[in-house]
Structure 1
Amino acid sequence: MTVSKEIVRLRLYLLCLTGDMAGLFLSFLAANYLVLGALWGEPGKPHGLIMFAMLAPLYAILGVQGGAYGIHSFENSRRGIVRALLALAQAALLMLLIIYFGKIAEKLSRLTLLMGLGLSAVAITLVRFAIARLGVTLLGEVPHLTAVILDGVAISTAPHMTVIEAKAADLHPERHDAAMAERLAAAVGMAERVIVACPLDRMDDWSIALKSLAARGEIVVPELLRFAPARIDEMDGQPTIVVAGGPFQFRDRIIKRLFDITVAGAASILLSPVLIAAALAVKLTSPGPILFRQPRIGRDARAFSILKFRSMRSDVTDLKADRLTARDDDRLTPVGRFLRRTSIDELPQLFNVLIGDMSIVGPRPHAAAAKAGDSLYWEVDARYWERHCIKPGMTGLAQVRGHRGATDHHQDLIDRLQSDLEYVTRWSILRDIRIIVATIGVLVHHKAY
């Protein structure tokens, strides 16, 4: 079973943080013993324990902020150690300020402090060496962070990189369709940096294809070697152009995921009477399943099954969304028409949020066969795949602005795409809250049918 990179990173954060806290605690206990001759310090003066209690939270905050934790330590242990030691030094300086202004310096042993800091530096270094050595055993599958796609151009790569031959993986960037986007996501797996080496005439196509990923996308441009000042980034000395940045840092993804779980869990409990009543109404008024499942395009263009209360007769259910619902659609049941008009049919997506396929707020997920006019969505605007670098949402900026309902014309899609891309590039948790509040006012609207 493939472990998601979010789970691996969260495990690694917790493992490193636990190891560091244990290392700091034992270091100051040892300092107590070496300096004072007792593990717990002198009676009434538990020097090491007080120092640990002051230092530990400061170090944890500065370490997280400064990049001392994370999956990158598997690729570059030295960098992780340097950042951890820098965070320790900064925490020590802040602790000294607290000691000075708190006027408690005379109650603490300076030698114990120096001994404790020295042993702590050794401890956090050993923790990172141990995790780098035992990471796969402790965490399960550990993904490569960098994937290199070779499309007709050979370049040198490092051992820690996943190398993908475009032809062998059936990757054809000129095909701007859902199948290609899904194959690309499957090929790069859990990589967070995807680098493509390709001829100049294929760079435009790869630039579009990479934007569908949640990863940072880059294209190798050997011609830039002659223009060192123009270098944007590099891989083993070879300049690359960054064409896709990946929208969220890991900390942002943790915050958004915790927010989603909290809101979806609370909403599932509070709205349980509505969910039960809707389920009974669907079951008792028409034959067929209560829930309607349909493949939709999610983050990284990976397909998932969206959940809705069934609003159509089961014999005419459109699993592929070849025909979008229209006003006065004869396929709708009377109960289904009410559920769609009040947006109650969307409530089962709370369970999509809880299992991780969706977010509370984000671009609405589309079916692969959905069209604007006579054109597939990605044929209308080359920027379409950029909206798939994050999880789709139950509601979004486009929805609260009124860009919802049928897409009879190209402009219908372009309007909502503009809002989706604005949300992707300007996300904040406060904006999510504002969108949720605004959604309450548009649950019933003239485009709901």
Structure 2
Amino acid sequence: MTDRSGPNQPHEPHESNESNDPHEPTEEQIIEAWRSAAHITLAPGPQEVSEAAPTPDQEWTLPGGRAWVYLADPGQGLTKPVILADGFSAGPSDLDFLYEGLDRGEYALISELRTRGRDVIILGFDERSASILDNAVAARSAIQEAIARRTGDHPLTVGGFSMGGLVTRYALAKMEHDGVDHQTALYLSYDSPHRGAWIPIGLQSFAHYIRRLNAAFSNQMNSPAARQLLWQHIAEWDDTPETDKERVEFLAELERVGGWPSRPRKIGVANGVRTGVANGITPGRRAFRGKGLAITGTHLHTQPEGVDQLVAQLRVVTLRKPQIRTSGLPEIDGAPGGTLEGFGILADELNSIPAIIGLGAEAEIREHCFVPSVSAIALRDINTHENLHTPFPEQSEDSELDEYLCATHNEPHTLITQELCTWLLDRLP
């Protein structure tokens, strides 16, 4: 991948920087329209809220974050704390969106926790794309605050959704390493990428290719959290995919503090199946195509296995259509696991820009695997087709978790379901 003549790169002297179509908008017009309309952020969960979240009983300001507390019995105060950490996105955690996803979907997790006498502490971060190590400071502070405010000595439950499971895993392990008593009996993770997450290389390349037009998508893909979470990452649109050095350093730091907390029982759930059944996404298929004048010629494909495989053709404003190819990657978009509507989110945001700007798009395939099942239960690396698709038993000694549950069907990443939540609730201390 050597052709670097994207919209944020100069062309050779004989190349034109603009289409020869007089009706096509200029780069300046596109930039201005993008600033006032689309904001591409790849994140699971609701895209809008039905109503504001109820006012918390308590709100704690933490270093690098905030905690919203819903007590089971406000008259008794904090007695049985359950800390649940937010996951990866861009910008600060939003209580309204968190509450919408956690309590107003298929299963009302917050309400059920309170019915069972548990106090719910939702841990949010000032910047969800910041380093996991930095956000672990907020998690550690939340744990210590809960201990200080608790009435009685009921042990804590601490965990999180997606990246939040890694943040709290590290925070607890580091507290043990530092000799700090976290008083936590149960650690839980909800579709957390213990062995890495996946964003298609075609999507990452498009994010960086449009950086000059709108940098938000590229900034999210190049954020510290993304570099630490993603199994394969590219920092520029024509880079060769690799494990980023920030992920290598994060894993080394996690290992330095013990890898996992040793005192709590460790459990986790996956939004994907354990049977090896794929999610129905065919490798090598076109998932996204540009339809507007300014983007026609852009195609993004699902990840195929093999050598020199096409995953993207890029064209935005410029005449050139560089191709992005990969070698040696498995067919991971279709792997069993929690899915993310990455292609769909991109198309929806581009289609929110006025049609006259020429950035219309279509997602022929909306989703892709984001956290493979074997990653969510810390069972195997996600680097081969065999590792991703080989079935595994209801419980395996090879998992780094003490106990896990996988969903009956492959479903959206961090979807709050009765199946997974009741299993977790039944194991609370």
For Structure 1 versus Structure 2, the TM-score category normalised by the shorter chain is under 0.3
Q: Which has the higher strand share?
A: 2
Higher relative contact order (CA 8 A, sep 6+): 2
Q: Which has the higher helix share?
A: 1
